[in-house]
Structure 1
Amino acid sequence: MLNRYPLWKNLLIIFVLLIGALYAAPNLYPEDHAVQISGTRDIYQVDQPLLDSVTAALDREGIAYKSTELDNNNGLIRVSDGEAQLKAKKVISSVLGDNYVVALNLAPTTPDWLTSVGAGPMKLGLDLRGGVHFLMEVDMIQAVSQRLDVYVSEIKTKFRQEKLRYRSVDHRDDGSLAVKFADSESRDKAAVLLRKDYVEFLIDSIDDDSGNYLTITLTEQTIRSIEDYAIKQNLTTLRNRVNELGVAEPLVQRQGRNRIVVQLPGVQDAVAAKRIIGKTANLEFRLEAKTDANRALTETYEFRSEPGRSATIEKDIIITGASVANAQASFDENGQPQVNITLDSKGGQLMSRTTSNAVKRRMAVLFVEHKSRTLFETVDGVQVEKRVPYVEKKIISLATIQSVLGSQFRITGLDGAGESSELALLLRAGALAAPIYFVEERTVGPSLGAENIELGVTSVQIGFALVLMFMAVVYRVFGLLANIALCVNLVLLVAVMSLLSATLTLPGIAGIVLTVGMAVDANVLIFARIKEELKNGLPPQSAINSGFERAFTTILDANITTLLAAVILFAMGTGPVKGFAITLSVGILTSMFTAILVTRALVNLTYGGRQLKTLSI
């Protein structure tokens, strides 16, 4: 019988509609404006007495609040609206001082029965919800210095292989290297060797009273190449760290020659984000010095978890964190935190080669951090803020090598599970090619997006209403059925966006408006084909069947081309462009489902299996 779906297809459509309604429902529960409180360090606890002191201050200022919550050393105070939120933040910040981070937040109100099945509202982007904005600067001087350190190690190895008599290889203040030789003959042989193997060097020979020297300077092109690599590597590492944080639709992009912009929508705990993203942490693996070792070839460092205790280790580095291919935090047999390390092939070879001659010796793992401290100096009677970078190295593990180590081993001696998880995250994400410093840090409040959300919702409503009116007037009963399918399409679109944890931005709202307009295209094609078949003399039931079947190929072709454009936008774009592409792609898929299956099911329910003389179309 024409225009009748089998029972299983009707049940499938009903099932999809119910699931869509379930996962779209959390968006009906608006989030509460709230203020989040967290300690800048673990020693600053957020507890009930602290919340009581905060609420007392709010009461004194006449600022009403809905409720207070404590969760994992974080406090949350819900208020009525954005204006009260901003006032509450100002009061709380003045009460708590610099030891606590007070951030704007949007607290969910989704019922427990929905969250229990994994349903949640759509996430909002930085332009709608707020979040964290960082402007970071890459230390290019340090990037070049680090590359020079690699060259120093390579040069020393070459000189030893060629049995050239050199005395020292030192950094100079102008960024060049000075190599001192025992005699001019060795110096000249070295110059020939280096000019042959290192085209990136400018090499000059110097003879003076202090000895025979070669000065090695990097070319401008090489320096620029090092700087570009540092930026690109840091971009990759930062993106990896952001992905580890689980932030949806982040923005990580280069700005100018040596700066990087990072935007994290929905992140309100700026301290936690800053600690993970901005930490220039690395590892160095070195052998403990022998008691009779030349003191000029050793260094002494304190233990990170035991101030006052120190050890002397060799200057030569076996490998660094750059050789780590994977790192996972876990616990040993005694319940102590550890990090399981997997090295890449080159790192595994270097570790195996070194430890094969060092069994029963101890190997130190140094935790290396590039930090900066703010100093104030007086210039012409005015205090000027100055950022001074420095490197902090401390031992986190000093263990005896029981057997030859390969590509897999573990690091112990860590200060708690939190440190092991953080270290594993940083190593997985990759080492930064050069230190980065925070130039600007802003927490963008959700109140900034209130007007944008209101205007966006209004635009969707107006567009939706105009489409509904057009379809009802032009296609009458068929238009009303298409309007029902269009409403279903919007519900499914919201449900899929929520399930995918996609982030809604202003361009995403534009994608929804566009989808509303495009969603009826398929129905227009189908209805136009039905009208044409009726004019050609086909009976109504045959015209309906022919209209849906013959329009299908055209609908498929049109939507596939648009979907391809959306996929390209997603692949090539970043941030808001990706948001638009996701919304458009999901809208195309849901509109095809509703236009072809849901509309057909409604038409079948209305006209299927009946003797018809005319159609209201």
Structure 2
Amino acid sequence: MKTKGKSSVLFILCTIAIIAFAFIGFNGLEIGGWKVKSFNDTITKGLDLQGGVSVTMEIQDENVSKSDLEKTKQQLELRVNKIGVSETVVSTEGDRRIRVEIPGKYDSAGIVDDLSKTGQLTFKSPEGEVLLTGQDVEKASVTSNPETGSPEVSLELTSEGQPKFAAATEKYIGKQISINMDEQQLSNPRVDSVITQGKASITGQSSLEEAKKLAGLINAGALPVTVKAASVETVGADLGATAFPNAIKAGIIGIGLVYLFMIAFYRRLGVISAITMTFYIAMTLLIFGEVGAALTLPGIAAFLLTIGVAVDANVLMFERIREELKKGISPKAAVKKGFDEALSSIVDSNVTTIIASLVLYFFGTGSVKGFAVTLMIGVLVSLFTALVITRFMMNRAVDAGLLSKLSHFRVKRG
């Protein structure tokens, strides 16, 4: 009786926790100035859901290296940030192209013009006078301070840049010389000594990644490449505003039909499946928001597909359990053996789907990659839900007496 009571309490508490988790996730919560954002606020929406401009830029120079491609990508990211756009996606496609997706902006001509300009790196005095340009920089690299171990950016100047830099550091010692890409400031280091040998260190980076980014941008300014718009796509605000509600409506209908089928066919097992599926949906959307994955129409399709994968895992487990019950063993033993028997099939089917999504991600472009990321996240969460959450809830339901008769499993006595 003690085990039954404990399992009943655990089952009820877990059910309430899952429902509360989903409710707060979909509606948000604010208590005493402390706010939990809803999934709608945290998940980044793709262009096809909110409208915007997608521009594919192509490098025109010959013999483009991976380093040149990455530097150009960093330049374009900086230009997009200068436009003042948040939630922008900049990604490489192939070995010469970079796709820039800018949500909420519709002046495609102005954006293409801004992205097509060659980046101009400048070193400026406190008064705004240009002291050096990117042409005066030989290279920038990431090093670490031998005393503190903190990351730094090491600069090597060209023969033409050395006397300019020596004069600048002598004139502005104790003051700051800013490093800018076009009109945007990258760093504003203080001159601690006169630099006459053409080598300097920029300190003050908070992390290795920040130092790498600064070095990459300085190198990009020193080694400019020519880019040209290869394709421009504009999704209007009205189209995006219509697509998102329709996609949500389709998702709700699809999920609702799955719930109805599972409950109608498996009864109490179906109710448990609906509870764990609610956890799965909420957890997947939470991860989307946390990792910053952009949700697109193909992504929603992939998400609905993973719901089918998650339901398939439940069906496999339930059918295995029913087969064991038909052999005459107890419900508790049948649940344990049913899960064990279904484990290999569930893992195999999910692993093959993950492999397929990895192939799509590494060889696909644009929305195909988004589909692959959504599919992979969904499959991994569904695997965890099936093997951990569903199993836990089923065991608690059996111990609580909620699944104690053959009829509860939709099994008839032979």
Please state whether the residue corresponding to 2:329 is helix, strand or coil. coil
Give yes or no for the alignment of 1:546 onto 2:337: yes
Give yes or no for the alignment of 1:362 onto 2:156: no
Match of 1:229 in 2: 64
Q: Distance in 2 between matches of 1:369 and 1:488?
A: 46
Match of 2:103 in 1: 265
Larger % of strand: which?
Answer: 1
Match of 1:394 in 2: none
Match of 2:50 in 1: 129
Q: Show CA shifts across 1:454-499 (max 9, x none).
A: 3322332232233223222322221222122222211211111112
Counterpart of 1:543 in structure 2: which amino acid?
A: A
Match of 1:324 among 136, 140, 147: 140
Q: Distance in 2 between matches of 1:450 and 1:233?
A: 39
Larger % of helix: which?
Answer: 2
Question: Is residue 357–residue 375 contact of structure 2 (8 Å, CA) maintained in 1?
Answer: yes
Q: Distance in 2 between matches of 1:585 and 1:3?
A: 38
Shift of 1:503: 0.8
Give yes or no for the alignment of 1:486 onto 2:302: no
Question: Is residue 23–residue 495 contact of structure 1 (8 Å, CA) maintained in 2?
Answer: no
Give yes or no for the alignment of 1:516 onto 2:307: yes
Counterpart of 1:114 in structure 2: which amino acid?
A: K
Q: Distance in 2 between matches of 1:406 and 1:576?
A: 44
Match of 1:566 among 343, 354, 357: 357
Match of 1:434 among 225, 228, 235: 225
Please state whether the residue corresponding to 1:262 is helix, strand or coil. strand
Alpha-carbon distance change, 608 to 399 in structure 1, aligned in 2, over 3 angstroms: closer
Match of 2:35 in 1: 114
Q: Show CA shifts across 1:188-216 (max 9, x none).
A: xxxxxxxxxxxxxxxxxxxxxxxxxxxxx
Map 1:346-425 to 2 at 5 A: 347=156, 362=167, 401-406=194-199, 408=201, 424=214
Higher Rg: 1
Q: Distance in 2 between matches of 1:261 and 1:592?
A: 33
Alpha-carbon distance change, 361 to 458 in structure 1, aligned in 2, over 3 angstroms: closer
Q: Distance in 1 between matches of 2:165 and 2:355?
A: 61
Map 1:325-344 to 2 at 5 A: 325=141, 341-343=153-155
Q: Distance in 2 between matches of 1:321 and 1:269?
A: 34
For the aligned residues, what is the CA RMSD?
5.3
Alpha-carbon distance change, 227 to 557 in structure 1, aligned in 2, over 3 angstroms: same
Higher relative contact order (CA 8 A, sep 6+): 2
Map 1:136-215 to 2 at 5 A: none
Question: Is residue 358–residue 372 contact of structure 2 (8 Å, CA) maintained in 1?
Answer: yes
Please state whether the residue corresponding to 1:362 is helix, strand or coil. helix
Q: Show CA shifts across 1:389-427 (max 9, x none).
A: xxxxxxxx99995543435258xxxxxxxxxx9x95872
Q: Distance in 2 between matches of 1:274 and 1:112?
A: 42
Match of 1:280 in 2: 118
Counterpart of 1:240 in structure 2: which amino acid?
A: Q
Question: Is residue 39–residue 289 contact of structure 2 (8 Å, CA) maintained in 1?
Answer: no
Q: Show CA shifts across 1:276-333 (max 9, x none).
A: 8555234589xxxxxxxxxxxxxxxx999568xx99x9xxx99644612359xxxxxx
Please state whether the residue corresponding to 2:406 is helix, strand or coil. coil
Match of 1:413 in 2: none
TM-score by length of 1: 0.48
Shift of 1:554: 2.3
Alpha-carbon distance change, 442 to 483 in structure 1, aligned in 2, over 3 angstroms: closer
Give yes or no for the alignment of 1:25 onto 2:20: no
Q: Show CA shifts across 1:102-161 (max 9, x none).
A: xxxxxxx9x9633589994211001111233446575x5xxxxxxxxxxxxxxxxxxxxx
Match of 2:252 among 437, 453, 461: 461
Which region of structure 1 is more displaced relative to structure 2, 569-578 or 268-277?
A: 268-277
Counterpart of 1:526 in structure 2: which amino acid?
A: M
Please state whether the residue corresponding to 1:457 is helix, strand or coil. helix
Match of 2:386 in 1: 595
Aligned residues: 373
Q: Distance in 1 between matches of 2:44 and 2:134?
A: 45
Shift of 1:570: 2.5
Alignment gaps of 5+ in structure 2: 144-151, 170-176, 183-189, 204-210
Alignment gaps of 5+ in structure 1: 30-108, 141-225, 286-301, 328-339, 371-396, 411-420
Alpha-carbon distance change, 505 to 440 in structure 1, aligned in 2, over 3 angstroms: closer
Question: Is residue 130–residue 445 contact of structure 1 (8 Å, CA) maintained in 2?
Answer: yes
Counterpart of 2:346 in structure 1: which amino acid?
A: I
Shift of 1:233: 6.1
Shift of 1:236: 2.6
Map 1:302-317 to 2 at 5 A: none
Alpha-carbon distance change, 468 to 360 in structure 1, aligned in 2, over 3 angstroms: closer
Q: Distance in 2 between matches of 1:599 and 1:559?
A: 16
Q: Distance in 2 between matches of 1:247 and 1:534?
A: 52
Alpha-carbon distance change, 361 to 601 in structure 1, aligned in 2, over 3 angstroms: closer
Shift of 1:250: 3.5
